[in-house]
């Protein structure tokens, strides 16, 4: 079984994406730091590219886990996003996106955020389609893959809970 899966599967590293941006005034909020919505766009873009590289299909975002903004990123800083598929189901895949800011003059690099997103691969009729299983290889990939199952259960539970009618309607 493991052998069969291994033959059909794809190493996690094949989905790796590195995307870099510089924060321009147009990306900023009134405090002159990166606007959160812009960062979410970049996270979604890097995550989708990793999902496409894994599945080689069109993908749509089906879930975004909570993202914390603890470190402001100033205009003029560079932002690096590293994305990789951590887990696969039948048609869906979880992608981890690590985000770093880099001071362009000192070269100092600080991790600012981490996000997990779920994408679904679609066929040419827009229906969910089977994807190859991901093969985690490094210690970090194996750790992320094990933890992903718990995150998925929580995500699916939250999705069901959010469909329940509101009690004061
Ligand atoms: C994504 C979409 C095609 C899934 O359709 P669906 O009818 O729910 O399909 P399924 O029930 O077969 O689910 C497909 C997969 O998504 C997973 N999924 C569905 N909702 C999910 C959620 N909230 N969180 C995590 N995974 C989810 C399912 O578990 C399943 O995974 P699996 O095949 O790996 O087991 C559909 O919900 C959709 O089109 N959503 C809108 C996407 C969109 O517009 N995104 C923003 C722009 S990219």
Q: Is the CB of 128 under 6 A from ligand 1?
A: yes
Ligand 1 atom at shortest distance from the alpha carbon of 91: 33
Among left, alpha and beta (phi > 0; psi -120 to 50; other), residue 40 is alpha
> Going by CA atoms, what residue is nearest to atom 6 of ligand 1?
128
Q: Which domains does the chain have, with CATH numbers?
A: 2-163 (3.10.129.10)
CA of 120 to the centre of ligand 1 (A): 6
Nearest to 43 by CA among 121, 114, 144: 114
Structure token pair of residue 130: 């089977």
113-149 per-position pLDDT tens digit: 999 999 999 999 999 999 999 999 999 999 999 999 9
> Going by CA atoms, what residue is nearest to atom 3 of ligand 1?
128
Distance CA 40, CA 43 (A): 5
Q: Indicate if the pLDDT at residue 98 is higher than 50.
A: yes
């Amino acid at each position: 079984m493991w052998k069969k899966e291994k033959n059909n599967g794809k190493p996690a590293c094949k989905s790796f994406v590195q995307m870099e941006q510089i924060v321009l005034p147009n990306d900023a909020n009134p405090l002159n730091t990166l606007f959160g919505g812009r960062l979410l766009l970049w996270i979604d873009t890097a995550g989708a590219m990793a999902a496409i590289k894994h599945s080689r299909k069109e993908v749509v975002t089906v879930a975004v886990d909570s993202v914390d903004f603890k470190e402001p990123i100033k205009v003029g800083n560079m932002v690096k996003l590293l994305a990789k598929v951590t887990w696969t189901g039948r048609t869906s895949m979880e992608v981890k996106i690590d985000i770093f800011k880099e001071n362009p003059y000192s070269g100092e690099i600080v991790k600012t955020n981490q996000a997990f997103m779920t994408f679904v691969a679609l066929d040419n009729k827009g229906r969910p389609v089977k994807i190859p299983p991901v093969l985690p290889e490094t210690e970090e990939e194996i750790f992320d893959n094990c933890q992903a199952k718990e995150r998925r259960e929580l995500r699916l539970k939250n999705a069901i809970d959010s469909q329940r009618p509101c009690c004061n309607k």
